[in-house]
Amino acid sequence: MFYCPWMRILVTGGAGMVGVRLAERLARDGVLADRPVGHLALADIVEPSGPVLADFAVDTVVADLAAEGVSGELIADRPDVVFHLAAVVSGAAEADLEEGYRGNLDGTRALFESIRRIGRGYRPRVVFASSIAVFGAPLPEVIGDDQCLTPLTSYGTQKAIAELLLCDYSRRGFLDGVAIRLPTICVRPGRPNRAASGFFSSIIREPLNGEEAVLPVPDDTRHWHASPRSAVSFLLRAAVIDTGVLESRRCLTMPGVSVTVAEQVEALRRVAGDGVVGLIRREPDETIRRIVAGWPRL
């Protein structure tokens, strides 16, 4: 095969919070796996904004992965690494079954199939952003490497199916995949999205901005968090890891910090005072409580 000294990278979901930060990190580092980055493509259903300063070419594409032919166009220049971050978030996937399966399953299958159809020895590293939502209660206190996948939401089910596809396509030699099960990313910057876990960030972010935030679950709710910076580091590590040591276990659960909502609120109080904490309004939501209660805590 022809060897190119510089690396081509594709990021699906490039307009999302993690995708934006991943692109910024790649622009800052300029290399991946000891090879200089020569081209970065960012694709999403809305126009991504590429990094302002990059010493390599950056293309942004508005793309719906589940639409006919779109994935093939994105893969046509044979990227060396594909970061597959595009997803319909948990709350939206639970509220709209068809939208969730179309975005999280059909789009992923289309991407993997486009890679397979190129053939001729093309076997890129594919880093898939999965989720701890693939696990469901009842759960042990600590999630081990052998924990069964028992999702209790449509979103978790869609991520679990995509993990199985990634492993099977890797086993058959079509791609070289690694799935990273991310904890809830907190604190997420920007505006709230439709993720069921979004309030974990909102109860910190909005009060610090002088805005009211809704807390839909009890204060003793415990959950598992990682920072946006950690999420990017996990993805980059997955892009260079020796998958030979993983054998058939290509889906890795990432570490995080386990805290209760009460501990989050107390940390906010220490930093910003009672007045800021007073902007949190408790408004129970049984649907969100049920979804979050089924996720791992540690």
Give the confidence band of 293 by pLDDT, cuts at 50, 70, 90.
confident
Give the confidence band of 24 by pLDDT, cuts at 50, 70, 90.
very high
pLDDT digits (tens, 9 = 90+) for 234-261: 999 999 999 999 988 999 999 999 999 9
pLDDT digits (tens, 9 = 90+) for 272-286: 999 999 999 999 999
Residue position matching structure tokens 């109080």: 269
Rounded to whole angstroms, the Cα distance separating 138 from 146 reads 15
pLDDT of residue 5: 84
Helix residue spans in 79-131 (DSSP H): 90-95, 97-101, 107-118
Check if 155 is active-site.
yes
Kindly state the percentage of the chain with pLDDT values over 90: 82
pLDDT of residue 3: 61
pLDDT of residue 137: 85
DSSP 8-state secondary structure symbol assigned to residue 119: -
pLDDT at 2 over 90: no
pLDDT of residue 80: 97
Q: Are residues 69 and 152 in the same domain?
A: yes
Kindly state the percentage of the chain with pLDDT values over 70: 99
Q: Are residues 288 and 176 in the same domain?
A: no
Question: Which one is predicted more confidently, 295 or 164?
Answer: 164
CB 14 within 8 Å of CB 49 = no
Q: Are residues 106 and 215 in the same domain?
A: no
Rounded to whole angstroms, the Cα distance separating 138 from 228 reads 28
For residue 182, the one-letter residue type is L
- Reference 158, options 215, 104, 77; nearest CA is 104
In the chain, the N- to C-terminal Cα span, in Å, equals 45
CATH of the domain at 204: 3.90.25.10
Give the confidence band of 224 by pLDDT, cuts at 50, 70, 90.
confident
Q: Are residues 111 and 212 in the same domain?
A: no
- Reference 83, options 194, 186, 219, 180; nearest CA is 180
Tell me the sheet residues that pair with 130: 181
pLDDT of residue 129: 98
pLDDT of residue 253: 93
pLDDT digits (tens, 9 = 90+) for 84-133: 999 999 889 999 999 999 999 999 999 999 999 998 899 999 999 999 99
Q: State the DSSP string of 138-205.
A: S--SS--TT------SHHHHHHHHHHHHHHHHHHTTS-EEEEEEE-EE-SPPSS--S-TTTHHHHHHH
Supply angle C-alpha 106, 98, 18, rounded to 5.
Answer: 60
In a domain? residue 190: no
Q: Are residues 160 and 68 in the same domain?
A: yes
Tell me the sheet residues that pair with 282: 215
Q: Phi first, then psi: what are they for 185, rounded to 5°?
A: -85, 125
Catalytic residue among 3, 101, 122, 155: 155
In a domain? residue 40: yes
pLDDT at 298 over 70: no
pLDDT digits (tens, 9 = 90+) for 46-93: 999 888 789 999 999 999 999 999 999 999 999 999 999 999 998 899
pTM: 0.92
Q: What range does the domain containing 204 cover?
A: 199-222+258-293
CB 25 within 8 Å of CB 232 = yes
Cα–Cα separations (whole angstroms), residue 97 to 87, 103, 298: 13, 10, 28
Average per-residue pLDDT for the chain: 93
- How many domains, in total, are found in the chain? 2
Q: Are residues 167 and 21 in the same domain?
A: yes
CB 134 within 8 Å of CB 289 = no
Rounded to whole angstroms, the Cα distance separating 28 from 8 reads 16
What is the token pair recorded at 125?
A: 């590293």
In a domain? residue 193: no
pLDDT at 1 over 70: no
